[in-house]
Amino acid sequence: MLLVTGKTYTYKSLGVIDMILVSTATPRGGEIDPVLSEQLTKVAAFCINYLKINRFNALLNIIVSKRKGYISGGVGGYCSADRQEFGHHGKMWNVDIEIANVGRGEMMSVLCHEMVHAKQYLRKELDIDGNRWKGKAFKVSSKDVYALNSPWEKEAYKLESKMFKALLKHPDFQWMKKYNTDFMEK
């Protein structure tokens, strides 16, 4: 497990992650490939700064299965978040992001997408159980299985694309160019 804080892991060009601790693990809490772990952590750090969610007290757990392929149902990723009691630290956000073990470029893009959902939870823009978006009721149609017509998915796809393009231009992320990014053309 890689535990990252602003104190030990900073990027001059990315700014500092203040309050969000990022870790990576398999669903059973095992270690994932160290190269992949660092790549995911760096991309998460970029998104934290881009989305300006540094100030939140949160544990961000990025989970990747050893098993290759999409999560059941062809899903590329999930994000859930809740407030939890952490002993004398008091209440903190606990954010779980699962990323399907697929092509490396696609995984980074999916992480950008799920980081937008993390932002939506932390800022209390999205209340998925209460069917609310920015204080207003929004009910996803039962025909819209992936909620693609919801304002939170529209925002997530839009910002995913913007952040991923920004990453490809960023000097710290030139390594991403060696991975297939054709899926972005869709």
Residues that bind Zn ion (CB under 5 A): 153, 156
The span from the CA of 30 to the CA of 128, in Å, is 29
The span from the CA of 96 to the CA of 78, in Å, is 8
Minimum Å gap between C-beta 102 and Zn ion is 16
Nearer to Zn ion, 17 or 118 (CB): 118
Q: DSSP assignment, residue 63?
A: E
**Residue 94: Cβ-neighbour burial (10 angstroms; 0-12, 13-18, 19+):** middle
Say whether 91 sits in a helix, a strand or coil.
strand
Minimum Å gap between C-beta 116 and Zn ion is 7
Structure tokens at 142: 């039962």
Could you tell me which of 128, 163, 172 has the C-alpha nearest to residue 147? 128
Minimum Å gap between C-beta 67 and Zn ion is 21
Q: Which residue's Cβ lies closest to Zn ion?
A: 156
Minimum Å gap between C-beta 146 and Zn ion is 8
Nearer to Zn ion, 95 or 156 (CB): 156
Nearer to Zn ion, 126 or 156 (CB): 156
Nearer to Zn ion, 18 or 153 (CB): 153
